[in-house]
Chains A and B, each alone.
Chain A
Amino acid sequence: MSDPDREITQLLRRLRDGDRAAGEDVVNLVYSMLRARAERELQRQAPGQTLQATALVHEVWLRLQDVDSTWNDRKHFLATASRAMRNLLIDHARKKAPAIRCDDPESLRLEELVAIFESDGVQIPALHDALEQLEKVDEVAARLIELRFFGGATVEEAASIVGISVRTGERRYRFGRQWLRNKLQH
């Protein structure tokens, strides 16, 4: 297992164990991966390519998913990583002190991440709050949303992680989505 893989594993374990501070390390990790990815892009014999950090994010996520093997189980990974991503985004989106942000490469990377997740017009803090309410109404639905939106899981995967049938998962997910939409768009 290479060092980055090991680091991811450690981070995700810490996150799983409830260490919110590990969220910050995830930032670094995602940032490092962006950088690594960009560098690979450069290393490859394709100097003609344009670098677009934001466009690389989903690739980064794919890389995170590649760590699968260290988890023996993609589901396990998704379960943790989706929560990690949510924590990461909300922690940053809520962070104030914009004055120090502009020079801090870490914040810039995060800024982009947040922007990407907000590209549909749903603000992360609002979504987070609504999700917390939804958790009270229907914890399963909220978890499905989290897995799907923040983790990129399919309905099948999300249902299986939560431990319900795909059919039930599909309906609970639809409920959660409609409920949130009502909440956020009205």
Chain B
Amino acid sequence: MDLDRQRRIRDLFLESLEQPSDARIEWLQGRCGEDTELFDDVAALLGDEDGSFLESPIVAKDPKDLIGTDVGGHELLDVLGAGGMGIVYCARQSDPERDVALKLLRHFAGTEGEKRFLREIATTTRLDHPGIVRVIRSGVDGELRWYTMDLVDGWPLDELLKRSRVDGGLPEDAPDLRNHRACADLVRQLADALEYAHRQGVIHRDVKPANVLVDREGRARLADFGLARNFEVTGMSGTEQIAGTLAFMSPEQARALRDAADPRSDIYSAGAVLYALLSGRPPHEGSTGAELLARVLYDRPTPLRRAAPNVDRGLAAICDAALRYDPRARYESAGAMREDLQRWLRGERVLGRPLGPGERIRSLRLDRRTLVRAVPVAAAGGALGLYGAVQIARAARSDRVDVTIDLGDADRGAILVLQEADGFGGVGPPERMGTYEKPGQRLRVRPGRGRLSAVVGDRWVSFDRVFRGGEDLEGRCTGVSAGESWARVAAGTTAVVRGPESGRSADGAPNDSEVTLEAFWITRARVTHGEYESTLRRAGRWNEEGVERRLLDEASAPKRTDWKSLPATLVTFLQARRFAEMKGCRLPTTGEWQLAVIRDSSGWPPSLPDTGRVVGRFEQGVPFEDQSSIDGYVRHVRPAGDPAYATGALRIFHPLGNVNEWTSSPAPFTAAMNGAASNSLTVTQRGPAWFESLDLTIPVSRVALGFSLASKPHWSTGFRCAKAESPPPTRE
């Protein structure tokens, strides 16, 4: 590139801009003289300017700005609605003249948005059904991509729903939504349209009242195939997160599992629309969206007849059959649903889909499996074997065992309470063990997994252990105030993999089951290096020459200035547990941790592998291969003040952090299992499950867990503290 020449071109361009626009060419010819090439170059720049070229996508435009302009031969008259990707205008088509609905792709929708828009056009265009809004034309006008549809003279169903709640709020010529027959008929038409679409291989995936247009004759039309997917061609929409609207979304779709949506998801949504029409509210509601999502994912709707007792049994059966949690228990097709609605409208007996006992079990099983998959459980049960169950069973047969307890001097008189615990969050009834009198006091406890708590006033400490005898329990009843750094997790149910702890079921499948948890508290951020170090120093436990120091030095070689605010990952399980107990709390159980993650990530389900097998890359959503070194840790780990922590409901889940977390559910793992013997004690962990070894070397356990043998042990396991909502009741 001849820079001098280019600069000369620039100067001439800038100078010519100073000239009156009609005199520029002449002026330029004069300046360029014989150099026609120069003239051409400058003139090329002076040619028609495109104001929208390199327009920044960052600048937002107001949809109303376009009113009155012409788009592809349509005068835009008014904005009918605006979504994330498109704006729908009422527009006047010039030839032949008539009013249409024109949908315009938003300029910032991106190529992905454009693809989706084109797919929407293509999909809708090939659908020709009275119950589906028809595409008239499509095109591109300059930068604007658009298509037109029939303008339905009526209302979106959500608006009618809203207005039907007010006496006299419904427009006079609208179908009377208080009449259940009218509602059933609208959904019958909807099911008919869906059946047709499904036959064409199209799933709508966003069926909701706002996408159903109702005209003055009571005809329903399905609109907005923006999320529709051709289910024979998969892979088109891998990047979308939650597409569609929660309240009407099927659980499998809300879970955002790739390819989870199938025609039966639409059936669910149609059922949800019916439910809303009959009861006045969608099947699931929540005061916040996160709560709503959790309900869709984990709850069953209130049976329709309880929500709206005046609904006819047959109609309620249809609604309930469409809304089954397990897709396989729903109507097998939209056509079957339509036929049942027709039967009901004719006063015949409906078929419904009675939920047999077999289906109920199947539905729960499915639920668990997908629940487990919904959090990054790395199926630790698989490789670890049976030993936990064996050991605990053996211990349970023996008599009580001795442990010693040291709460320091300040907490004399603390009441000691023992509970059975399963390590996943379930605890048994409290058994009072007397009071704490002095450091080193001996207690006789039931062997096996349990939780021993010491309570004094409103302070307490809990020890989660597998008691085998000889344990020294040391902690402080400091209690924890429910301040900013703590998040309360409401009571709930979650599925846990009990593999290593309780063996496997007879058919060899991981033994997963649900645990029901009391409300508890969990720290919002992981314990940081700074906190860990200063607490240990204060307690006189910091060992300059000890493992803490050594690991710290090793890990902090590429020092980050925010080092102290990074999670304390360079600790073993025992260190983490001791730290928590010194603070008067404990490590969360597996179930608690999992429930917290589910709750916290509900606002944005991370894209987890859904292959059903263990994917090494994912440890709490983290690609592991390139991070199996301390460098990786330093590069990727997030400090506690990370925005994601600061904004998440519970600040727990961070899909980009590469820190696993210790939970309190160890699975004893003996050398004999692997045929390997060693002399070091290690506890290692994968995902929310972990196991403890008394006599395995680090490398052996790492290999056992599927890690490659890196030169440095991977110590990026952090931890946070938990505590029960209230100390266990102390009455005897």
Report A's interface with B, CB cutoff 8 A: 2-4, 6-7, 28-29, 31-33, 35-36, 38-58, 61-62, 100, 102-106, 108, 111-112, 115-120, 122, 127, 133, 136-138, 141, 145, 148-152, 171-172, 174-175, 177-182
Contact = CB atoms under 8 A, between A and B. Distances in A.
Q: B3, B59, B111, B240 — which one has the most chain A CB atoms within 10 A of its CB?
A: B111
A32 B651 CA distance: 12
A175 B12 CA distance: 10
Contacts of B246: 47-48
Given A48-B210, A108-B607, A119-B57, A39 B50 contact: no
B601 to A, nearest CB: 9
Main secondary structure of the interface of A (DSSP, over half): helix
Interface residues of B, number: 81
Q: B210, B293, B642 — which one has the most chain A CB atoms within 10 A of its CB?
A: B642
A151 B59 CA distance: 9
Interface of B: 1, 3, 6-7, 10, 13-14, 17, 44-47, 49-50, 52-60, 83-85, 106-114, 143, 158, 206, 208, 210, 238-247, 285-290, 292-293, 602-604, 606-607, 609, 615, 617-618, 621, 623, 638, 641-649, 655-656
Contacts of B242: 51
Contacts of B210: 48
A137 B6 CA distance: 6
B16 to A, nearest CB: 10
A39 B599 CA distance: 12
A53 B241 contact: yes
Given A39-B603, A51-B242, A175-B45, A45 B642 contact: no
Given A54-B108, A115-B111, A4 B53 contact: no
Contacts of B45: 175, 178-179, 182
Contact of A52 (B6, B44, B85, B604): B85
A38 B241 contact: yes
Contacts of A100: 623
Contact of A61 (B3, B58, B240): B58
Contacts of A179: 10, 45
Contacts of A182: 44-45
Contacts, number: 217
A119 B53 contact: no
A119 B113 contact: yes
B247 A39 contact: no
Contacts of A6: 641
B647 A152 contact: no
B109 A111 contact: no
18 contacts: A35-B603, A35-B644, A46-B289, A48-B158, A50-B243, A52-B84, A52-B243, A54-B112, A55-B109, A58-B57, A100-B623, A116-B57, A116-B110, A119-B113, A120-B52, A137-B7, A149-B56, A151-B58
Contact of A122 (B54, B292, B645, B648): B54
A54 B237 CA distance: 13
A35 B605 CA distance: 10
B623 A103 contact: yes
A55 B641 contact: no
B248 to A, nearest CB: 9
Nearest to A104: B623
Closest 9 CB pairs of A and B: A42-B289, A52-B84, A152-B58, A3-B641, A39-B603, A36-B647, A4-B643, A55-B84, A116-B110
A120 B14 CA distance: 26
Nearest to A181: B53
Nearest to B226: A50
A54 B109 contact: yes
B265 to A, nearest CB: 15
